[in-house]
Amino acid sequence: MATIKLILRESKINKAGEAPIYLRVTNHRKSQYISLNLRVPPKSWNQDEQKIKSSYSNSTRLNAWLKKQVSDTINTFVDLHDKDANVRTKDIKETILGKSSPCFFEYANKYIERAYYTPKQQRTRQRYKTTINKLKKYLGDLQFTFDDLTVNFIKNYEHHLLTVVGNDTNTIHTDLKSVKRIINEAIEDEILPYEKNPFLRYKLKWKKTNKVYLTEQELMLFENYNASAGSMREVFQDAFVFACYAGGLRVSDVCRLQWVHFDGSHIRVTTIKTDDPVSIKLPKRGLEILEKYRIDNPKPLDYIFPIIEKDRTFKDYDELKRHINCKNVSANNNIQFIAKEIGLGKHISFHTSRHTFATRALSKGMKIHHVSKLLGHASVKTTEVYAKIVNKDLDDAMGVFDN
């Protein structure tokens, strides 16, 4: 049971020599003070009896009013306690005084800047900002508070992302997961009561996807495609094949490869996504592709693949990311064109090279923790999905005995 007392806070005495009377609400050893907007001289206050002395003008009427404030506060506590046995003193104070719900976007921006401020966290910070900007665009000029984040709102927003924006289920999952994380942080900061979390009654949806990869025969077909010599289609073809052999390097890292990253046998680079250093010993096919692009006396900072323009510099990470995104679109268009020309019957992208490397490496007997290390996975569990793919292919292959 909460303890509720009338307190004269003499530390807040004004120039007229009057101190304010407060209600002090204590529960679970935590206290909140509620101003009653009433001041009396300290000599006119009886703290033991928690009332104004009879010598003070209108003391009888004022004491009756103070008694009612205590009674009302007790009733408020009882009502809140009936709904939640873990009621906080903060909840009692807010119920009595009333409080407008905090702005969601103001809190979200503060959280993003507080939680993701290091260079290594730039990608995560940008993902959160993209999520917030998408939500702002949906709302237009409407004010948006935590109270507006209801289950019904989330369902309507999900429908909008699916039907109007054209996002797939997993993209929506990623956006709403970011919103959920912000809400959980707000609960920890006591901005929002736990029971008002809409995700307690709404389950995020996730659609299991198949990882598209090339088989040995399909990769050979892709390698043997005769792209026009010197064309960007040939460059993207070679870059894709290189990634299939070079540890499944992402397009962001392949685009940035410079001769300084190659020591004659290994590619050593810090990945742009995870900011982790990787060292990859290139097999013969990878070395052949690099030799194709080696010019006489290349400068250490020259790009290996002519995807990013020579001597191009970037003022910051965001500008580099935007430029690579444009190159990724071009790479995917060319890769899909080749796939169609050779009759693959698969919708592939540059990222397919990463899946191709993983499945080929495991099927050739490379240990899974080595594959995981080369891919830059934080956990072998992430890599296990490829082992399942390889095992399924082996199971399917055994079907020949049923023919």
* Spatial distance between the Cα atoms of 9 and 275, rounded to a whole number of angstroms: 54
Tokens representing residue 21 in the block:
């009377």
Q: How many CB atoms lie within 10 A of CB 21?
A: 22
Domains of the chain: 3-97 (no CATH), 104-200 (1.10.150.130), 216-402 (1.10.443.10)
pLDDT of residue 400: 45
pLDDT tens for 85-141 read 777 767 676 666 555 678 899 999 999 988 887 777 777 888 899 999 999 999 988
CB 199 within 8 A of CB 153: no
Q: Are strands 19-27 and 3-8 parallel, antiparallel or unpaired?
A: antiparallel
CB 355 within 8 A of CB 250: no
* Spatial distance between the Cα atoms of 177 and 161, rounded to a whole number of angstroms: 14
* Spatial distance between the Cα atoms of 403 and 397, rounded to a whole number of angstroms: 11
pLDDT of residue 266: 94
Closest by CA to 294, choosing from 330, 258, 249, 256, is 258
pLDDT of residue 100: 61
pLDDT of residue 116: 84
* Spatial distance between the Cα atoms of 221 and 77, rounded to a whole number of angstroms: 74
Tokens representing residue 117 in the block:
């401020």
Q: How many CB atoms lie within 10 A of CB 23?
A: 21
The helix/strand/coil state of 51 is strand
* Spatial distance between the Cα atoms of 6 and 313, rounded to a whole number of angstroms: 67
> Which residues make Cβ contacts (< 8 Å) with residue 242, sequence separation at least 6?
249, 254, 286, 289, 290, 305
Give the strands of the sheet with 19-27, arranged side by side: 3-8, 19-27, 30-40
* Spatial distance between the Cα atoms of 350 and 348, rounded to a whole number of angstroms: 7
pLDDT of residue 94: 66
Tell me the residue type at 23. Answer: L
pLDDT tens per residue across all 403 residues of the chain: 678 889 998 888 888 899 999 888 887 788 888 788 788 999 999 999 999 999 998 899 999 999 998 888 888 778 777 777 777 767 676 666 555 678 899 999 999 988 887 777 777 888 899 999 999 999 988 888 888 889 999 999 999 999 998 888 989 999 999 999 999 998 888 788 788 899 999 999 888 777 899 999 999 999 999 999 989 999 999 999 999 999 999 999 999 999 999 999 999 998 887 778 889 999 999 999 999 999 888 889 999 999 998 888 888 777 888 888 899 999 999 999 999 999 998 999 999 999 999 999 998 888 988 888 888 887 888 888 888 887 766 566 555 445 5
pLDDT of residue 385: 83
Burial of 378 (0-12, 13-18, 19+ CB in 10 A): exposed
The helix/strand/coil state of 103 is strand
* Spatial distance between the Cα atoms of 336 and 226, rounded to a whole number of angstroms: 15
pTM, to two decimals: 0.61
- Residue 314 phi/psi, 5° resolution? -130, 135
